[in-house]
Amino acid sequence: MSNDRHHKKPPAGSPETGTFPGKPVYVRSVEVSGRPLWAVFSDEGEHLGLATSRAVAFAAAVQNDLQPHSVH
């Protein structure tokens, strides 16, 4: 009997591979009312949302089948 679960590759859209499926979106830091937040924008510049951290912004994008990229 083979124990394949220890030898499986991570899914294509995962932090382990660094690639995510879906339409690209861009994440950058912004300041709103004096608070540092992270904004998510479409590839056309449309503001899609705000998050309290970069990790949360990336997770939200991936959860919505989007491909997050950092913008500085």
Give the position of tokens 């951290």.
53
**pLDDT for res 72:** 75
CA distance 62 to 25: 10
Instruction: Quote the distance between the C-alpha of residue 28 and its chain's center.
Output: 11
pTM for the structure as a whole:
0.69
DSSP letter at 53 equals S
Q: Which helix (H) or strand (E) holds 58?
A: helix 54-63
Backbone φ and ψ of 39, nearest 5°: -105, 145
**pLDDT for res 49:** 96
Decide if pLDDT at 69 tops 90: yes
Q: Which of 13, 10, 11, 9 is nearest to 23 (CA)?
A: 13
